[in-house]
Amino acid sequence: MKEFFEVTDPEALKSLAIAERVKILELFEDLEPRTAKQIATELGENAARLHYHVKELVRVGLLEQVDTRVKGSIVEKYYEPVAKVIQVKLQVMIEENAQQLSDVMFTPFRTTEKDLMRTLNRFVASDQDVRKEYKNTFAFNLHEFHLSQDERNQFVEEIADLLHKYKALKSEPGRRKFKFFDVLFPMTPAEASDDSDEPFEDSEE
């Protein structure tokens, strides 16, 4: 498996705007190959419908078949993502379709929201003893920064190093599965200043 893969193919970008396919890719965070049936079971999805999404991810180059095992009369095909980190080249999306950019950016928001709501509903429905297990498990952060381009690049690099460190930890007794989601985006153009509250007006000469 490669370390990094940059998505530039428009067809692959469309797959990243489909929640089911994003969930499939997220499932491989432990870097363990899986069959389509195993993926469907872990996600609680219909096997036939899930297999279609797996085939499409293979077709656009985001998943690849890495092994074939024969068990009696059954041939099992094992898949894994094309790389540990799949990155999107935003310029390609902007040139291809502005709406597609929105779809791809917001799909992880939607899948993360569903996962969070499932956890919160489980928490609310549990008794007091079970709720104690959730102590010191939630974390929430929202910040705004003023960064130069070099500072932005350094910040992203440091976050990536930190994530890589913890993603290397394997599932074992004493560890529970957490989900972390972050997004960094500019709120103003590079030339603008946040110090002014004056509204932007578009004038014609």
Whole-structure pTM value = 0.55
pLDDT on residue 125:
82
Residues 6+ apart with CB under 8 A from 66: 1, 33, 78, 79, 80
For 8, 144, 202, the CA distances from 197, given in Å and listed in that order, are: 38, 17, 16
For 95, 130, 185, the CA distances from 89, given in Å and listed in that order, are: 11, 43, 14
Condensed to tens digits (0 to 9), the pLDDT of residues 8-18 reads: 787 888 888 88
33: three-class secondary structure by DSSP: coil
Among the ranges given (55-59, 126-130, 141-145, 183-187), the one the predictor scored with the smallest mean pLDDT:
126-130
Reading the block at residue 63, the tokens are 């998943």
pLDDT on residue 98:
58
From the list 78, 81, 67, the residue with the least C-alpha distance to 28 is: 81
Domains of the chain, CATH where assigned: 2-135 (1.10.10.10)
Condensed to tens digits (0 to 9), the pLDDT of residues 93-131 reads: 555 555 666 666 677 777 788 888 888 888 888 777 777
